[in-house]
Structure 1
């Protein structure tokens, strides 16, 4: 995980010709899967920091699906969407959140990937806000 916080008040969309990537900084836990997966697309040293057209839309979608917190989502121009795994995957991160990946209904909203608070300190319960790592 990266130490710096990159929070935004509301999710922001980055449009490409074949795919749009949405980022919710309030959900980002800085596991850096995006930065390692496609550094040409996800580069915090440039503005905008997400450039969806810097790689093939299939590659972008695959890296977005690796985001464990669900801070990143995508919409394909061809209408295809993320297919959650069945059964739901649950990962307990040592000294970190509980990661869920599947067809989820939490707090009356549909999700495919979320990070739940395991320490009890989050101000966004049941979701992790990385409080225990700040």
Structure 2
């Protein structure tokens, strides 16, 4: 397992951390993380914030790791199986607005922003216009208020 971090300048592709395992590679984009904690609650043996590296993809089988990564609402966590398969987007595409204004979207997405177009399967988009990571929510505006984003409501 390796932990590779791609350092980029602010006007290039966002910082991405890559954690390689035997059957699956997990990537993490810190700026998109909204701390929903689906990962650490779903597979604490793989995702443990108290250790470095905090992601150990080989601590569980690849399928459960992929399942837990798919629970990440913001898309900060992504996975890439070593067999070349890809994450299939939810169908139909869904959009849910939280009381604080965030837009939780899942499906076959093309998200356009300052860094160009990105194909996504999961994202939490800014609904208040105050995010410093547009179009993604970073909770820097009214979205910083605690709200309904309860796993049961997803």
TM-score (norm 2): 0.78
Where in structure 1 are there 5+ consecutive unaligned residues? 1-7
Partner of 2:149: none
Structure 1 residues 58-79: Cα deviation after superposition (integer angstroms, max 9, x where no partner): 0000000110000000110111
Larger radius of gyration: 2
Partner of 1:130: 139
Partner of 1:3: none
Q: CA deviation at 1:106?
A: 1.2
Misfit runs of 4+, over 4 Å: none
Q: CA deviation at 1:20?
A: 0.4
Q: CA deviation at 1:89?
A: 1.5
The answer to whether structure 1 residue 12 and structure 2 residue 17 are counterparts is yes
Q: Answer yes or no: is the 8 Å Cα contact 2:18–2:25 preserved in 1.
A: yes
Structure 1 residues 8-29: Cα deviation after superposition (integer angstroms, max 9, x where no partner): 9611100111000000001101
Partner of 2:45: 40
Q: CA deviation at 1:93?
A: 2.1
| Alpha-carbon distance in 1 for matches of 2:96, 2:48 | 27
| Alpha-carbon distance in 2 for matches of 1:115, 1:102 | 12
Q: Answer yes or no: is the 8 Å Cα contact 2:131–2:137 preserved in 1.
A: yes
SS of aligned partner of 1:34: helix
Q: CA deviation at 1:96?
A: 5.0
SS of aligned partner of 1:68: coil
User: Residue 125 of structure 2: which of 113, 116, 124 is its match?
Assistant: 116
SS of aligned partner of 1:131: coil
| Alpha-carbon distance in 2 for matches of 1:114, 1:63 | 15
Name the Cα RMSD after superposition: 1.6
Q: CA deviation at 1:119?
A: 2.1
TM-score (norm 1): 0.89
SS of aligned partner of 1:120: coil
